[in-house]
């Protein structure tokens, strides 16, 4: 199946935003953890897709920058998943993760994606 890579990534960004909203509005720790687990799984898949398909279309310096951003987010995820929900650091790390991903998404959608050729497509 051939589809627009940018469209695929933006669609994943919207799904992540939806999961983040679920995390922030969860009425119980279990619901928050469930949404967080889904977001972490989605982030891992999204990161792999970007690194496999998007980075090939970027100049090396930009691909390195994107990879560094992914590592920073991955480190936050790793630290967060080691904690339980009542740990005092959990809320701060969760907020840092959501902010980092939101900033990354905004940067991609407003600065990176518009610079890519409209013809960037992927076959899966």
Q: What angle do CA 108, 121, 59 make, to 5 degrees?
A: 50
Which CATH number do you get for residue 25?
1.20.120
pLDDT, one tens digit per residue, over 34-43 is 999 999 999 9
Question: What angle do helix axes 29-49 and 5-25 make, rounded to 10 degrees?
Answer: 160
Three-state secondary structure call for residue 1: coil
**Tally of structural domains, the chain:** 1
pTM: 0.89
Three-state secondary structure call for residue 2: strand
8 A C-beta contact, residue 37 and residue 65: no
The domain in which residue 32 lies consists of: 2-123
For residues 99 and 101, give the distance between their C-alpha atoms in angstroms, rounded to a whole number: 6
pLDDT, one tens digit per residue, over 1-48 is 346 888 899 999 999 999 999 999 999 999 999 999 999 999 999 999
- What pLDDT is attached to residue 44? 96
């Amino acid at each position: 199946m051939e589809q627009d890579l940018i469209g695929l990534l933006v669609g994943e960004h919207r799904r992540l935003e939806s999961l983040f909203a679920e995390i922030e509005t969860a009425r119980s720790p279990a619901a928050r953890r469930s949404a967080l687990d889904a977001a972490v799984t989605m982030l891992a898949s999204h990161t792999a897709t970007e690194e496999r398909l998007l980075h090939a279309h970027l100049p090396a310096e930009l691909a390195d920058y994107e990879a560094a951003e992914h590592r920073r987010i991955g480190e936050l995820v790793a630290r967060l998943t080691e904690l339980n929900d009542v740990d005092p650091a959990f809320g701060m790390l969760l907020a840092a993760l959501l902010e980092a991903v939101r900033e990354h998404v905004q940067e991609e959608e407003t600065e990176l994606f518009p610079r890519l050729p409209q013809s960037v497509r992927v076959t899966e």
